[in-house]
Copies of this chain bind each other. A is one copy, B any other.
Amino acid sequence: MDNIQEYKDKVNKTLKEFLEKKLKEDGRYSKSIRQLIENITEFNLRSAKRIRPLISIFTYKCFKDDERIIKPSICIELMQAYLLIHDDIIDKADLRRGKSSMHKIYEKQKDEDFGISMAILAGNLCASYMYETIIESDFNDTEKLNALKYISWTADRENYGQALDIIPNFKDIKEKDIWQIYELKTATYTIQGPIYIAGALANAPKEKIDKLQIYAYNIGTAFQIQDDINGIFGEIKDMGKPIDSDIKEGKKTLIIVKTLEFCNKQDKEFIMKNYGNKNINEEDIEKIKEIIKKCGAYDYSKQKLNEKIQEGKKSIQNLEVREEGKKFLLDIADYVNSLA
């Protein structure tokens, strides 16, 4: 993954330029709109892995060797910002990428309601900006339209996934519901969306995209399994958010569903009582972690993660596409595995 940093820098530069152009064009309306676009810019430019645009770029490189993909690749970063800003309202998260979440930034200016209101609007703006990056890109109209279709498809599914995530209580949830949420909420916009969009822009043949889709589903769900393991066992410096938030929120994850399935009656009662408790203490958090490891749910999750990654890699191993692109996609699969 030698040229990753180079492309990451290009993504950051393109994102910055796009938002600076918005500020110049729309900032003229008023001081408060300038401030709003500046806040959106600061949020988008916070240090981040840029995995999603990189996936778009290297999927494109599976088929074509030009740099036109860089501009529209940022659409998926803007989608990310749109979803994170709204998710943080929903999850009442104070931190994002190590700094204040958008509603917290605005809450300081007035009150909680104002914070939520402005964050709703900031997220909405990122949503329309994401379409604009495709519309303004250097592709023909048919390629752009196809890419826009997948943007919308991705946004729809992501919102459905988010709804599923907040609707049922974790106590009633089954493993199959978790896979549904993982697919809609993560695989879609982390891997599938970036691949579909880039495939559309590259005019890639359908049978190759279908193979890439098997890859995308598997690596996308693996990504979420890993994220949820880190959500409980990770370090704060890696997450940019409090590491106990998944436990306090009662987040519905594979690892917790399997824990409830595998552990003994007494431990199950303990989890039922304490997982999702906003005021849980350090000691009880540690006890939950112990139960997860002891009962085998941690190992089960790790194993599933590994299976998904192997399955994903296998689906593209023999795919006849440009080597540069394929190599990245295979590497990213290993990278997900190494995120622990």
Interface residues, chain A, CB within 8 Å of chain B? 26, 29-30, 32-33, 36, 86, 89-90, 92, 113-114, 116-118, 120-121, 123-125, 127-129, 131-132, 135, 141-142, 144-145, 148-149, 151-152, 155-156, 159-160, 162-164, 166-168, 177, 180, 184
Q: Which of B116, B155, B162 contacts A128 (CB 8 A)?
A: B155
Q: Is the CB of A159 within 8 A of B29?
A: no
**A116 in complex: contacting residue of B114, B116, B145, B167, CB < 8 Å:** B116
Q: Are A180 and B29 in contact (CB under 8 A)?
A: yes
In whole angstroms, what is the CA distance A156 to B121 when docked? 9
Q: For residue A135, which residues in chain B have a CB less than 8 angstroms away from its CB?
A: 145, 148-149, 152
Report the Cα distance A144→B134, complex, angstroms: 13
Find out whether the CB atom of B90 lies under 8 angstroms from the CB atom of A120. Answer: yes
Q: How far is the CA of A177 from the CA of B160 in the complex (A)?
A: 38
Partner of A148, one of B33, B148, B156: B148
Q: Are B29 and A160 in contact (CB under 8 A)?
A: yes
Cα distance A43–B82 in the bound complex, in angstroms: 24
Interface of A is mostly: helix
Contact: B156 with A33, CB < 8 Å?
Answer: no
A179 to chain B, nearest CB (A): 12
Contact present for B26 and A118 (CB under 8 Å)? no
CB-based contact B120/A30 at 8 Å: no
CB nearest neighbor in B for A109: B167
22 A-B residue pairs with CB within 8 Å: A26-B156, A29-B160, A29-B184, A32-B167, A33-B163, A86-B121, A89-B116, A90-B120, A114-B166, A116-B116, A118-B163, A118-B166, A120-B123, A124-B159, A127-B128, A128-B155, A131-B151, A132-B152, A141-B141, A141-B144, A141-B145, A144-B145
Other CB < 8 Å A-B pairs besides A32-B164, A125-B159, 20 of them? A29-B160, A29-B180, A32-B168, A36-B163, A89-B117, A116-B116, A118-B163, A118-B167, A120-B120, A121-B159, A121-B163, A123-B124, A124-B127, A127-B127, A128-B155, A128-B156, A128-B159, A131-B131, A131-B151, A135-B148
